[in-house]
Amino acid sequence: MEHKVIIVVGDASETVDTLYPYYRLIEGGYKPVVAGQEVKRYQMVLHEVKPGWTITKEWEGYSIQSDICFKDIKPEEYLGIFLSGGRAPEYIRYDTDLLRITRHFFETNKPVASVCHGVEIPAAAGCVKGRRMATVPKCQFDLEVCGGIFVNEACVVDGNLVSGRTYHDHGHYMGAWMNLLDKSKLQAEGR
């Protein structure tokens, strides 16, 4: 049985936010499925606060090919979803198919992971009310205005939802999300 997991991307998704979970999923025996608004090659970016700066600097990163577009996703065929950071969530959060997909994972209690600006997607989908989440501090407002609870920690687990602030937290929250996926996989296999 193939266990597929969605990785949500768009142009300006953060490179490390996207590629680290992509390869962790393969390593864990899952099939990462890269999803965007259309099937195409997306340009990712690198984000870092440069020494002496108070705001994020952006550089061009690697690109990634999507496997499927949001409108063609049947979320019941997927075990989990990863909401990558970068600037992409600022505009893809308006995609009605992405909102439909995101709601499915919350309503069915399937594993959801979010990092950095990824919070903007479940916030727009109406899925964060009363939920504790980590995100980059500049997205605290986006989370709280939609009823979520900001937690400034490297790993926050709230039921099926696992989150981190930035790619610097991958080593802290990714293991917790992979554990949720492993439990869901065993349940899907009837074990």
| Domain residue spans of the chain | 4-188
Q: Which residues are bridge partners to 49 per DSSP?
A: 56
> Does this model's pTM top 0.85?
yes
Separation of CA 39 from chain center? 18
Tokens 């997991």 appear where?
5
Q: 10 Å Cβ neighbour count for 75?
A: 17
pLDDT at 54: 76
State the maximum Cα–Cα separation within the chain, in Å, rounded to a whole number: 54
Catalytic residue among 3, 47, 117, 170: 117
Q: Catalytic: 117?
A: yes
Q: SS3 of 154, please?
A: coil
Task: Give per-10-residue mean pLDDT for the chain (191 aa).
Answer: 94 96 97 98 88 80 97 98 96 98 98 97 98 95 97 98 96 97 92 76
pLDDT at 112: 98
Helix axes 15-27, 170-188, angle to 10 degrees: 40
Please state which CATH class domain 4-188 belongs to.
alpha beta
Angle at 86 (CA atoms; ends 175, 60), nearest 5 degrees: 115
